[in-house]
Amino acid sequence: MSDSTDRNIIMVITIGLLLFLMFVKSNIKIKNDWLNIRCNPIKLFLNSINKDPVESVGTFSDCVNEFNKKSI
């Protein structure tokens, strides 16, 4: 193989590894601090994709109720 091909393969592997580690770090952070993070709109959306629909609706309802309590 040529040097440029080797370099490109190493770069793709390195970037893939970094993205994977960022994903794992994010998942660990979410699991450890779920009660404080769960009402973040982005996390609500991602939770609806990854989790059971019933659980997602329950989390959304809890967040809406919590927001309503704070606004009163």
pLDDT digits (tens, 9 = 90+) for 29-67: 888 888 888 888 888 888 788 778 888 888 889 888 988
CB 31 within 8 A of CB 51: no
Residue that has been written with the tokens 């309590």 in this structure: 69
Q: Please state the φ and ψ torsions of residue 52, each to the nearest 5 degrees.
A: -65, 135
Q: What is the pTM (predicted TM-score) of this model?
A: 0.61
Calculate the alpha carbon distances from 11 to 6, 16, 21, 64, 69 in Å.
9, 8, 15, 44, 50
